[in-house]
Structure 1
Amino acid sequence: MPSAPTARTLDVPGAHLHHEVRGTGPLVVLVGAPMDAEAFAPLADLLAVDHTVLTTDPRGIRRSTLDDPDQDSTPQLRADDLARLIAYADAGPAVVFGSSGGAVTALAHAQAHPEHVRVVIAHEPPLDELLDERAELRARTEEMISTYLAGDVLGAWRAFFATAGFELPDAVLHEMFGGERAPQQVADERRWFAHELRHTVAWLPDVEALRALGPRLVVAIGEESAGRLCDRTSRALAAALGSEPVLFPGGHTGFAEDPEAFEPRLRKLLSPL
């Protein structure tokens, strides 16, 4: 069994990044946005038997604090954070696995710092700008942000899940987002709607720069995500790159829901083809 994770804080311009390191061996980074390090802990434990595994809370989320709480979280800023974390770990170049907004972070990092990565695995990046209905998706994003900031939390989440392709009954939404909730959960949620969501889904990749990575860049999709928004954005990215997406067990959060099934598929991609 790997040793318990070591928690550290790295001071970077404008932020103080909480991150955790497990195991020894080649470096693997697991990153989300807005998902924090805890969501990746079970998968990190499995990989840490023979790898150094780094997980982190994105800037402004949970234990990663900001000098200016009103600062927006852009993929470029998070990519710079990732570059500094990899350099600080001093065990790179790294395999970077990013999921959802973290996949956008991983792609932005790969564009800016290709020398830092051995392999980049972008799992279901929500790249709305690659789709034909990009204008409609922009409008929906602005509407859900406005709905949230106006105080209608359930309405904002209802719109978000509908856009993403999930049909959640109101009873489930109430259970997840209604009533009394932990202050940190509410703070992270508000930051995501107010300062992160718009910038993440509006980010447009530099396809030529990413194509230069060749087989070092893998687009990944959950087997249960067929037809949903992030399945379509991921397939659009793979098509632009001239590659085929790799299917993983589960859906959008398969790495957290069943890490034991997810880990063998991920492990096969830890070295470039």
Structure 2
Amino acid sequence: MDDEGDDERDELFGIAEVSERIGLAADTLRYFERQGVVPAPRRDSAGRRRYAAGDVELIRMLVHLRETGMPLADIAQFTGADGRAADPAVLRLELLTAHRRRVRERREELDRALDVISRKIADYDEQGAGTPRRLERPDCALAFDVRGEGPPLFLVGAPAGRAGFAALARELAERFTVVTHDPRGIGDSRAVTGMAAPTPEVLAEDLAALVDRFTGGPALFVGTSGGAVTLLELATRHPQLVNRAVLHEPPLVTLLDDADLTSRATAAFAVAEGDPQRAVQEFYDLSGAGHHTGPGETPPPHLALPELPAGELDKNRYFLGRMAGPSVLYAPDIEAVRRVPLTLCAGALSHHQLARRATRALADRLELPLVDMPGNHLGASTEPAAFARAVLPLLRQPDAR
């Protein structure tokens, strides 16, 4: 196998030892050897297999490649078992690069499937939650839930509502009285004739009325996506209500100084009523919010979405057609926001996505740090336990100014 084994001073291992070290059954090692996936090891005078340290590391790499779905034929080339490569290092680089691309594509598919599963869990959670409470507003009734004990904490989204925050609320209910609500036109806060449009200004007044229902004084808030935009407007209109607010990825395209991005967003919102499938696809591509991208990664410019069911299309007629535009195109009053204790955070896997870029721009204007949170733009709903652990110290910390 590898040249390291040619040195007689190298420590050699029997097949049972190798099996224990890498967690691969001895019979499987023998099978891979027979299939030409790994080169045959040396034998001692009694015919027993003897593996050098380099052999063990090569087999360990084989296990990792197999677990990530690399075809056995490619693994054989990688290990050099077929003996055909003129330059093994170059071949291995090519094989790993191609395999990384396949793994990323597979991860994107799994991420999309996970998001669908998470939404369905939220739907069933909502169905089993019982009858929500109601807050009457002049032009609609807001549905809300309350759970837990302790200081009041409001989880705020747009479009995320009671269902989207159900798992996170359960995680936080041991420490707080957690209040979640469906923004107007979402979930059980159904749109009614004559209802005012769900702009950040209107949503902030709805939230202020909900806070007044419970405390009338300062409270804690966590807002995600459009809900973080609602909190920026609440901070401007009613700073006395905010004890501390944690804002996760407000998608403020107005802060990015990017005319093309603004134009694409506006175009997506414009077609939502007549063609919600197209609007969802265009907003998905420009925001990148469904992807998981680390510091050195960028979301793909286009990834075709499956046809949405009728219920999802109806939801997006309202969300993208009426709610998302005013939030994404909202321009915060920076000087007013400075007066309120805020923490800005973004997904550790949201790099180079619209919302994280916008949050970074807002943090720079407010001269605040940007805190990494678990997951991507949807981390509060897809990773509720990890998100709750990360948000707890942010709710307790003093003003960082």
TM-score (norm. length: structure 1): 0.89
Residues 121 and 218, structure 1, Cα contact 8 Å, conserved in 2: yes
Instruction: Describe the superposition over 1:42-70 as per-residue Cα deviations: whole angstroms up to 9, x where unpaired.
Output: 11011111210000100111211344366
* 2:233 corresponding residue in structure 1: 108
Question: Quick one: structure 1 residues 92 and 40, their matched pair in 2 at CA, closer, same or farther if it must change by over 3 Å?
Answer: farther
1:136 aligns with 2:263: no
Say if 1:226 and 1:46 are closer, same or farther in 2 by CA, change over 3 A: same
Q: Which residue of structure 2 aligns with residue 231 of structure 1?
A: 356
> Could you tell me which residue of structure 1 aligns to residue 284 of structure 2?
161
Q: Against the structure 1 CA distance between its residues 69 and 243, is the aligned structure 2 distance closer, same or farther, given a 3 Å change threshold?
A: same
Q: Deviations over 1:3-27 (max 9, x none)?
A: x888210011212100000011101
Residue 194 of structure 1, CA deviation: 1.8
Indicate conservation of the 8 Å contact 2:139/2:194, yes or no. no
In 1, Cα distance between equivalents of 2:377 and 2:131: 28
Amino acid at match of 2:303: P
Identical aligned residues as a percent: 37
Determine if contact 1:23/1:48 at 8 Å carries over to the other structure. Answer: yes
Distance 2:355 2:164 in 1: 19
Spell out, residue by residue over 1:138-188, the C-alpha distance to the aligned partner (whole angstroms, 9 max, x if none).
Answer: 32122112333332x332222111111254632xx21xx43x433xx4332
Partner SS, residue 265 of structure 1: helix
RCO higher in 1 or 2 (8 Å CA, sep ≥ 6)?
Answer: 1
Match of 2:135 in 1: 10
Partner of residue 210, structure 2: 85
Q: Secondary structure at the match of 1:268?
A: helix
**Shift in alpha-carbon separation, 1:246–1:6, aligned structure 2, 3 A:** farther
Over 3 Å off, 4+ runs = 166-169
Determine helix, strand or coil for the equivalent of 1:149.
Answer: coil
Q: Does residue 246 of structure 1 match 2:371?
A: yes
CA distance in 2, matches of 1:98, 1:235: 16
Report if aligned partners of 1:27, 1:51 keep a CA contact under 8 Å in 2.
Answer: yes
Question: Distance in 1 between the 2:397 and 2:192 partners?
Answer: 38
Give the aligned residue type for 1:157.
V
Q: Which residue of 2 aligns with 1:98?
A: 223
Q: Give a deviation string over 1:64-104, Cα, whole Å, max 9, x none.
A: 13443664210010000000001102275211110000110
1:43 alignment counterpart: 168
* DSSP 3-state at the match of 2:272: helix
Which stretches in structure 2 are left out of the alignment for 5+ residues? 1-128, 289-298
In 1, the alpha carbon distance for the partners of 2:256 and 2:136 equals 37
Q: Point out where structure 1 has 5 or more consecutive residues left out of the alignment.
A: none
Q: Report the equivalent of 1:34.
A: 159
Aligned counterparts of 1:243 and 1:72: Cα–Cα separation in 2: 32
Say which structure is richer in strand.
Answer: 1
**Counterpart of 1:9 in structure 2: which amino acid?**
R
